[in-house]
Amino acid sequence: MRPWLAVPRSLEALNALARARDVRTASGRAVQFVAPAETTGYYEVSVYDTGRVATRPENLHDWFNALAWLAFPQAKARINAIHAARIPLEGGRRGRLRDLLTLFDEGGALVICADAQLVALLQAARWRELFWDRRDDVRRSMRILVFGHAVLEQALSPWPGITCKALCLASGERLDADTAAWLAALTPDASPKALPSVPIFGYPGWMAADSSAFYEDRRYFRVPKA
């Protein structure tokens, strides 16, 4: 995401980059960032059918959503396509799969780590062991990239309780493609429980932490109920 943070805050700049990268929806529509007044109908269905993404450049939530389309075009297109396919089947009541998609779209993170022991500690919510006892290993072998546009907005005022739904990947070579493939493989009964919740500001160095007590504060570093 970092290279896109320098993009000028305008629809013109966003659309020039979208054209240059040939960003498209799964339906094949060229993605265009437009004023909300230029869109109609249900948001996800409208994006899928027209390629038009309602965007207010002055609104940080919208802005980070647009940058996510530029950074992860395949994954964003797959999220949109699944939403668009499921909405007509749900009778106005969002199901668990779309709950998962929404949480990942708004608050997802990609954890890139080939060390199975570190990943196991993360999935078991053993935060002190992961982020304190093995902080040097984490710095060496684990990267966390924020995917969700709502979390990017929240991160402008960082606090230890910011939590992401994390997709763990062994390699960062094909981040967008691998994320899109994981999304495409989701079944209709998938739920938010498919991804662990990770307090991302526990990553060593992201916030000041001078003792293990920081990671034992259960307000932020929660342990899932058995």
Q: pLDDT tens digits for 21-64?
A: 999 999 999 999 999 999 998 999 999 999 999 999 999 999 99
Q: Rounded to two decimals, what is the model's pTM?
A: 0.94
Q: pLDDT tens digits for 171-217?
A: 999 999 999 999 999 999 999 999 999 999 999 999 888 889 999 99
* Residue 223 pLDDT grade (very low, low, confident, very high; cuts 50, 70, 90): confident
- C-alpha 182: how far from chain center: 13
Q: Can you give the residue ranges of every domain in the chain?
A: 2-93, 101-216
Percent of the chain predicted with pLDDT > 90: 87
Q: Which two tokens stand for residue 31?
A: 């993605």
Query: In whole angstroms, what is the distance from residue 128 CA to residue 132 CA?
Result: 5
> Is it the case that residue 157 has pLDDT exceeding 70?
yes
Overall average pLDDT of the 59-71 stretch: 96
Instruction: List the one residue out of 178, 180, 177 whose CA is nearest residue 169.
Output: 178
Indicate the pairing of strand 52-54 with strand 32-34.
Answer: parallel
